[in-house]
Amino acid sequence: MNELTKLTARKAENMNEHKTIITLAVTGSIGDKSKHPALPVTPREIAESALDACSAGASVVHIHVRDPETTEPSMAFELYEEAVQRIRESSDMLINLTTGAGARIVPDNAEPMSLGPGTTWSTPEKRTEHVVKLKPELCSLDVGSMNFGPRVFANPLPHVEEMAARIKKAGVRPELEVFDLGHVEIARSLIEKGLVEDPPIFQLCLGIQWGTPATSKNMLLMRDALPPDVIWGGFGVGFTSFPMVAQSTLLGGNVRVGFEDNFYLSRGKLAKSNAQLVEKAVVILRALDKEPASPDEAREMLGLKWLEKGRNNNGKS
């Protein structure tokens, strides 16, 4: 780690004593409007929901896109482009684009060597196309494979390494998504090979079906397994979302909420909007003597201030 990176890490650590970054996971790829009538689907809805959440205290938006007609997950570049442009035109919120789309495998039981309906298996180039072209400040990078409900979430190491290299070349910082301890080891290998810039950014993803359960003990275990001098956050899904907001904050991490992870404000009570989920997260932070970081503070904490990208404050070229 060079001296500039060490200085950035020290600044982030000092700031993080009082500030916590809230990431909004705005829509995800699971569920539809039958699950929640306010689920953002179109690029306009995604952008408007992100901007409302920014006003409530979120400084980062993690974006998936959906087909506006079917509401199904999409990889269409024009949908990413519209959502990103709408946010950039109205906010300095940090944009974090997913690269998880294109990793879904559904077996065809009748033809074992074939893939069944619902498969979205794609190439590393396609999965990172929108990141390379739009150059957000952040993007997710799922580093390992796992059973994900009835599907396989497939991220073979050669694909992950190629995606990491493409992301690095584009000047974008990857957020390393880890769902279990083995994924942490894969992320370490990416760092050791120079495919990820210092300081690395990790996201502990807990509570996904067949992944690591979202408990205080497991979050502590995952946190302690991380390499030294990393920036990290964590989240839980469903009813564990807000308990994990508190746990991540207590352990010194950043937090994530949003309709991708959870539709409920409390047990049995649907949240009206993503902004309402962010507002509750802010209440939890303040009960723990923390404040939500602004977008500019989040850039400082994530080590993005010293990255010269030739963009102005709202992210445009």
User: Which domains does the chain possess?
Assistant: 3-301 (3.20.20.70)
Alpha helices in 115-215 (DSSP H): 124-134, 157-169, 181-192
pLDDT tens, position by position, 216-251: 999 999 999 999 999 999 999 999 999 999 999 999
pLDDT tens, position by position, 109-140: 888 888 888 888 899 999 999 999 999 999 99
Q: What is the pLDDT of residue 12?
A: 54
Compute φ and ψ for 232, nearest 5 degrees.
-145, 160
Give helix 216-225 / helix 181-192 axis angle, nearest 10°. Answer: 20
Check residue 107 and report its DSSP letter.
Answer: B
- Whether pTM > 0.95 for this model: the answer is no
Structure-block tokens of residue 176 = 């390393």
pLDDT surpasses 90 at 15:
no
The helix or strand, by DSSP H or E, that contains position 258, with its residue range, turns out to be none
User: Considering only CA atoms, which of 13, 63, 8 is closest in space to residue 40?
Assistant: 63
pLDDT surpasses 80 at 316:
no
Q: Are residues 314 and 32 in contact, defined by beta-carbon separation less than 8 angstroms?
A: no
Q: What is the pLDDT of residue 312?
A: 46
pLDDT surpasses 70 at 255:
yes
